Structure 1
Amino acid sequence: MSETHFEVIVLGTGLTESITAAALSKAGFKVAHLDENPYYGGDEASLTLDELAQWADERTLSSSASEPSRYAAAQRAKFRSVSRSGSVLPNSRQYSLSLSPSVIPSNGPATSSLIGSGVSRYGGYKLLERIAVFDRLGKVRNVPGSKEDVFKSKDLSLVDKRRLMRFLMFASGEFEGKPELAGNETTPFPDFLRNKFSLKQDVIDAITYALAFCTSSFDPTLPALHRIRRYLLSSGRYGASPFLVGQYGGAGEIAQGFCRASAVHGGVYILGRKILSITHIELSSPPDGTEPAFSLQLDDLEDRLTADLIISSPDYVSPELRSIAGLLPPDTLDASQGTSSVARCIAIFDGPVIFPTSPSQQTLAGSEDPSLTSADADLPVESDAEPQSKVDTAVLVFPPGSLPGASATASATVLLTGEGTMSTPAGKCIAYISMPIDSQDSTPCSAETLLKPYLQATLSSVTTISTPPEALFSVFYTINGHRELYPRLSTADSSSRVLVTPPSSPLLPESMDDAACNAEALFRHAVHLLRPGQAGTVEGLWPPLENQDEEEDSW
């Protein structure tokens, strides 16, 4: 390599790391971005079907007899209970399967970063068409997405509609000083809805698990209200839904877009090479910017790389660096949401997905933003004739205890994406299932045992197959809880030169916003440390875009 010294070396191409690398490169820092994987995205990658099968095989303990790298060993400790279907479907490259499924609030830090950085031009986005709840009677019921839906609903009495509208008005406003909330900030959210707004149980379930995305009946009220307000205020920016779904696999494709933005502004990328060692160079005097603080040796690369600052995914932090590594406080992550392990499933099945027809179905006509594109041609048009309709993107929520034989204490969330998201061939759909589990359970069940009932219920509820439906291909795995992934790490102080990227929320609509917020904190720390004289002049994460045509041609 002609250049081997960099101001910042970023390890891992997950979304937080990729946003940070793009912001630093755009701000004029010399950045090298490394990942042992041959693809972008890290734990949030979007993979072809063959890549997903290989990913699963590499994270089973019996899959390789060779000595794993530090990163590979960390991955096997993080991802447990991995199992997959034996045979892989044809047309593998037509699939783009996300390891970190997510929906993007239409108004929030993630969309601000996409637009401010120009990365929104590199991909496409669709509105989430439907959110529904699997109720205790075994039926799929739509969650009203607008005031019009509430008043047209046939499932609610007039009294229930008024009570629901009173709550929605409360939740969308400045509720912090309201008497209803006083003293109830930590009250379990379902109890708050029942005691303060006299809502029925089925309405409470819909609000708690499909609007607030709570994971249990014990989740506190104030964080749930904050989430609901964010989502209510996102409705109408690009259409009726508060959420967008990224095409080509979502988070992984978006992470690659930020890597592209970094490369355009001088970022150097090295993928698919093992990191053999990271050495801390002890300095005889306080660092003045002229001597590197770290040296890295990569497999099959003769020259060592040096850096003044390392920003790293936790999987790359060696035991030798843990004593000086610091974790920035994840301010956007509720403590209650960051400690559970999460069981996940990725399943492919024959489409289309069928949902109950919403009282008012709206297209995106007239609501597009020039900075965001959306494949919206086949969104449903208003029709009162059909009780059911095909959808391409939807979220189905299973409240605790709603499914016999499944969890009575935790909710499960299913994100459904079809061919319109450009992530699957025509006629196929993908179901992403996630459910928090107690990481302290001494006898945990496998991810497949936990999630198989939800997969079967989803396929039976949203497909038209007359025979008992089966997934064509599936992968199950468990991600260990964050308290297990960040042991013995102190909080970063102003002089920390090894920054470990903080975790994002496991909640479907929060992970993207968390990544954007965490990236901004990392960016500002790097500016303060490496260029203290310029720290006060940095107004925002993204400078104004210049020479956009030239930027497109240089990639």
Structure 2
Amino acid sequence: MADRRPSMAERRPSMQNSRRPSVIPHLAGIEKPVLPTTPDECDVLICGTGLVESVLAAALAWQGSNVLHVDSNPYYGDTCSTLTIEQIKAWCHHVNSNSPGFHGFTKALLYIPRPNKLNSKDYSIDLTPRILFAKSDLLSLLIKSRVFRYLEFQSISNFHTFENDSFGKMSSSKEEIFTDQSLSLSSKRSLMKLMKFVFEYDNEENAALLAQHKTTPFVKFVEEKYRLLPGQINELCYTLGLSSTPDIQTPQAMSRIRRYLISFNVYGNFPALYSKFGGPGEISQGFCRSAAVAGATYKLDTTLQSFDSETKLATFKDGTKVKVSEKVVCSPSQAPTGSQYTPERKYEVTRLVTIVEKSCKEWFSDGDSAAVVVFPPNSLPSLNKFPVQVMIMGPGSGCCPNGQCIWYLSTIEKGEKARLDVESGLKKLEESILRESEDSGFDVALNDEDIVVRPDGTASVINSVKLGKSYKEFVPKEKLTFLFKLMFTQFTSVEPFGVASESVYRRASKEEVSSLAASGAPDKGIVYSNMPSAEISYDGIVTEAKLLYTSIVGSDDDFFDVDFEDEDETDQISNQNNNDSAIVDEDDEEFKDEMDFEL
């Protein structure tokens, strides 16, 4: 392949020596050429190396199944890949030409005004960016499976809400709420009552109250019961809870808020992490490496042409065949070339990805190189009905060179309105970073209300990105340089507000089957996974992988039930940025698979 991202081993040669290199085999297509031949038979054939499929492949391989894992692309990750600039160009061409394998995406628009400033391999661009909460089933699985050893994690501590033309950093801990001088005493009491309710939702009294309001919109519930102001509700629902819709019901919203609160201060003064050098695409490779250790076979550039459910023969585009004794699992993008199957398009997510020539350090906390920004409904000039969510990745993330930054904007709005909303959000981001930038020559005047003194005597600014009304007429001395813009629409059958709930994925899978039957596609014997959801966390990944695992094995009782030879070791998830680190104690009884947030 002419252009590819450096492999994990190439990126971290110094770390590989401590990771049993004699045990961990190289993955075909990453460190060595693709295997020249295809095995004659296997137990399970998995088409597509997306995150769900990669988790499934590793689980099956460690359970003892003979797994053949292929992908029609020359890279790993499938619909959640992490790609270079050149790979993004090819991806856009395939999407716009409606090529087989790319039907889950549409209307890919790519603009590169200064190509001479971009070295393709210096960039890792996610098709479906994600953050990882410290208390989550995927992080538990990464530790249990030892896959975290192939990855590097960094913290995200800054979550910003856009309101009244300013970005405010959330107050989410007791200390921050009590010392926030922008909140009245009654507001502080109401927020503390709500936080207590979230932590104690399962006691008899709270459970009964929640049952009474299981169909009540969260916004209405907290407004009436806790008398919260619109700004506080926005922070809770859209920034802390990361809800992608204003219609989210009270139980779902409460579970999202709890997800954040129980994740905060687990490994440090932050609630979430992200994988360095890329998101889901990077983690997918980690699980593929784990599957390879357990004996799975990998082949890239391998397209499934057909599967005969009677003879159990799978035929690939190059003419090779393999007999599958148990199941064929396909990503929606990897449907056989003769199939009429297209992914269910019940829900949409529109994404805008930009590379800016600025470090954007003003958005990050010390030691961080990433942040989350949320535009609540009706906060943009476009009068957005749905929130616009933004993930910002700085140069320390390993995804772009120094002095640059990648912005990921997304919304579940549909059609041209969606594009108008993300473009409006982009404009506000541009204005704010120019106002706040030290290079602009614009000094922000702070007063006593802007600064809070912590109990330990340290002082900090309440709003890490301060854009008060008095700055609206500010004209920057510089212009922001955009090096890259990519916009596209992705389809999925997974509810945008779904948390780690089996019912969400069972329902989505049934809809996929119904759609497949209606199309008359000859895909008998093939089990399809779902297109990635609009969720910007990793919630649901393990849930869907377990459902697929159960459809093959019969239950998920032995899902990654593996006794590793170094079980007694204490492992670490290292934050390589400065001295911050997240330490994981394998014997910590608190850290278990407990992220089923369906209340």
TM range (shorter): 0.7 to 0.9
Structural mapping, 1:1-150, within 5 Å: 1=37, 3-61=39-97, 72-75=99-102, 77-87=103-113, 88=115, 89-135=117-163, 137-150=164-177
SS at match of 2:141: helix
Q: In structure 2, do the counterparts of structure 1 residues 272 and 406 end up closer, same or farther at CA, with 3 Å as the change threshold?
A: farther
| CA distance in structure 1 between the partners assigned to 2:338 and 2:304 by the alignment | 14
Residue 480 of structure 2 aligns with an amino acid whose one-letter code is P
Q: Kindly state the Cα deviation for residue 305 of structure 1 after the two structures are TM-superposed.
A: 4.7
| CA distance in structure 2 between the partners assigned to 1:527 and 1:308 by the alignment | 9
TM-score (norm 1): 0.78
Supply the RMSD in Å over aligned alpha carbons.
Answer: 2.9
Report the counterpart of residue 255 of structure 2 in structure 1: 226
SS at match of 2:100: helix
Q: Kindly state the Cα deviation for residue 53 of structure 1 after the two structures are TM-superposed.
A: 2.1
Q: In structure 2, do the counterparts of structure 1 residues 25 and 481 end up closer, same or farther at CA, with 3 Å as the change threshold?
A: closer
Residue 200 of structure 2 aligns with an amino acid whose one-letter code is G
Q: Is the 8 A contact 1:447 1:478 kept in 2?
A: no
Out of 426, 433, 458, the residue aligned to residue 455 of structure 1 is 426
Query: Which consecutive aligned stretches of 4+ in structure 1 deviate over 4 angstroms post-superposition?
Result: 318-323, 354-357, 483-488
Identity in percent: 28
Report the counterpart of residue 585 of structure 2 in structure 1: none
| CA distance in structure 2 between the partners assigned to 1:14 and 1:176 by the alignment | 39
Residue 456 of structure 1 aligns with an amino acid whose one-letter code is K
Q: Deviations for 1:125-149, whole angstroms, at most 9, x for unmatched residues?
A: 11112001000x1100011132111
Q: Kindly state the Cα deviation for residue 547 of structure 1 after the two structures are TM-superposed.
A: 6.4
Report the counterpart of residue 393 of structure 1 in structure 2: 370
Q: Deviations for 1:216-239, whole angstroms, at most 9, x for unmatched residues?
A: 322111111111112211112211
SS at match of 1:181: helix
Q: In structure 2, do the counterparts of structure 1 residues 503 and 36 end up closer, same or farther at CA, with 3 Å as the change threshold?
A: closer
SS at match of 1:480: strand
Structural mapping, 1:444-483, within 5 Å: 444-445=415-416, 448-463=419-434, 464=437, 466=476, 467-482=478-493
2:562 matches 1:543: yes
| CA distance in structure 2 between the partners assigned to 1:118 and 1:94 by the alignment | 28
Residue 89 of structure 2 aligns with an amino acid whose one-letter code is A
TM-score (norm 2): 0.72
| CA distance in structure 2 between the partners assigned to 1:418 and 1:204 by the alignment | 29
Q: Kindly state the Cα deviation for residue 412 of structure 1 after the two structures are TM-superposed.
A: 0.5
SS at match of 1:207: helix
Q: Kindly state the Cα deviation for residue 118 of structure 1 after the two structures are TM-superposed.
A: 0.9
2:326 matches 1:308: yes
Q: Is the 8 A contact 2:382 2:420 kept in 1?
A: no
Structure 2: gaps spanning 5 or more residues: 1-36, 441-475, 496-507, 517-523, 568-599
Q: Kindly state the Cα deviation for residue 214 of structure 1 after the two structures are TM-superposed.
A: 1.9
Q: Deviations for 1:358-379, whole angstroms, at most 9, x for unmatched residues?
A: xxx7xxxxxxxxxxxxxxxx61
| CA distance in structure 2 between the partners assigned to 1:173 and 1:547 by the alignment | 37
2:546 matches 1:523: no
| CA distance in structure 2 between the partners assigned to 1:109 and 1:173 by the alignment | 20
Report the counterpart of residue 357 of structure 2 in structure 1: 350
| CA distance in structure 1 between the partners assigned to 2:258 and 2:112 by the alignment | 44
SS at match of 2:212: coil
Q: Deviations for 1:19-71, whole angstroms, at most 9, x for unmatched residues?
A: 0001111111100001101010011111112211221122113xxxxxx7xxx
| CA distance in structure 2 between the partners assigned to 1:58 and 1:473 by the alignment | 19
2:246 matches 1:210: no
SS at match of 1:478: strand
Q: In structure 2, do the counterparts of structure 1 residues 52 and 447 end up closer, same or farther at CA, with 3 Å as the change threshold?
A: farther
2:187 matches 1:160: yes
Residue 350 of structure 2 aligns with an amino acid whose one-letter code is A
Structure 1: gaps spanning 5 or more residues: 62-67, 282-292, 328-337, 362-377, 380-390, 439-443, 529-534, 549-555
Q: Deviations for 1:63-114, whole angstroms, at most 9, x for unmatched residues?
A: xxxxx7xxx3351x32112101145442211111111101111111100111
| CA distance in structure 1 between the partners assigned to 2:301 and 2:250 by the alignment | 45
| CA distance in structure 1 between the partners assigned to 2:136 and 2:106 by the alignment | 32
Report the counterpart of residue 489 of structure 1 in structure 2: 513
Q: In structure 2, do the counterparts of structure 1 residues 266 and 539 end up closer, same or farther at CA, with 3 Å as the change threshold?
A: closer
Q: Kindly state the Cα deviation for residue 258 of structure 1 after the two structures are TM-superposed.
A: 0.5
Q: In structure 2, do the counterparts of structure 1 residues 275 and 142 end up closer, same or farther at CA, with 3 Å as the change threshold?
A: same
Q: Is the 8 A contact 1:80 1:477 kept in 2?
A: yes
